[in-house]
Amino acid sequence: MINKNEILSKVDHTFLKQTATWNDIRKLCDDAIRYNTASVCIPPSFVKKAKEYVNEKMKVCTVIGFPNGYNTTDVKVFETSNAIQNGADEIDMVINIGMLKEKEYDAILNEINEIKKACGDKILKVIIETCLLTEEEKIKMCDIVSNSNADFIKTSTGFSTAGATIEDIKLFKKHIKNDKKIKAAGGISSFEDAERFIEEGASRLGTSRLVKIEKSNEQTL
């Protein structure tokens, strides 16, 4: 059994709702620091303020081309550069799913690498939105990410028809190469879920529920 603190250390503590206010983000940061999560994952418009608030006490992750992925590459690169300038430590980008459907594999690889160039030495995670893909497309994206300069493949935005599944993580584990890591996101609602995802190969989890569960457990003690 994996220790709860170890699980929390793999969590990108996330708040990406359209209604997000600075008060929401500040509380998210406070909780992330308290529970030693891997990062906070927040909308780009809050990155500068959040980084000034947490300083080096917490990594700040943000999202690019989110949630639909169909911005042009130039826009995504600008968004990334802007986020890094504002203090982002990690970037979660969404691929252009239409390009994948049309088998424009070189264009997807090029986009990932252009965004990574804008990231410099910061971590880049590639969201492929598994719930909208066939198994063949998921395997192809494992291949593309494996051959890219990105650091992680990530299942989901949490804004489409479904989130991470154990089957997807098993598939990623089988097909991902070159030491690329796996992030599961969307629908992780318990420590039991989280443990299974980690056991199957995920080294990051995108969720807000685990910290909420831990807080409510403490309040009932």
162-182 pLDDT, tens digit each: 999 999 999 999 999 999 999
Q: How confident is the model at residue 149 (pLDDT cuts 50, 70, 90)?
A: very high
CB 17 within 8 A of CB 41: no
Dist. CA 4–CA 24, nearest whole Å: 24
Q: How far apart are the first and last CA of the chain?
A: 22
Q: Quick one: pLDDT at residue 150?
A: 98
Nearest to 44 by CA among 114, 11, 93: 93
| pTM, full prediction | 0.97
CB 73 within 8 A of CB 116: no
Nearest to 173 by CA among 144, 198, 207, 137: 198
Q: Averaged over 183-192, what is the pLDDT?
A: 95
212: its two tokens: 């909420």
Dist. CA 107–CA 87, nearest whole Å: 28
Dist. CA 21–CA 212, nearest whole Å: 18
Which residues participate in catalysis according to the annotation? 92, 154, 183
Domain CATH number, residue 188: 3.20.20.70
Question: How many domains is the chain built from?
Answer: 1
Q: Averaged over 4-21, what is the pLDDT?
A: 98
39-42 vs 11-14, strand pairing mode: parallel
Q: Averaged over 48-66, what is the pLDDT?
A: 98
Q: Averaged over 7-23, what is the pLDDT?
A: 98
Q: How large a percentage of the chain has pLDDT more than 70?
A: 100
Q: How confident is the model at residue 221 (pLDDT cuts 50, 70, 90)?
A: low
Dist. CA 10–CA 176, nearest whole Å: 19
Q: Which domain holds residue 180?
A: 4-220
Q: Quick one: pLDDT at residue 87?
A: 98
165: CB partners within 8 A, 6+ apart: 130, 155
Q: How confident is the model at residue 22 (pLDDT cuts 50, 70, 90)?
A: very high
CA triplet 161, 205, 54: central angle to 5 degrees?
A: 115
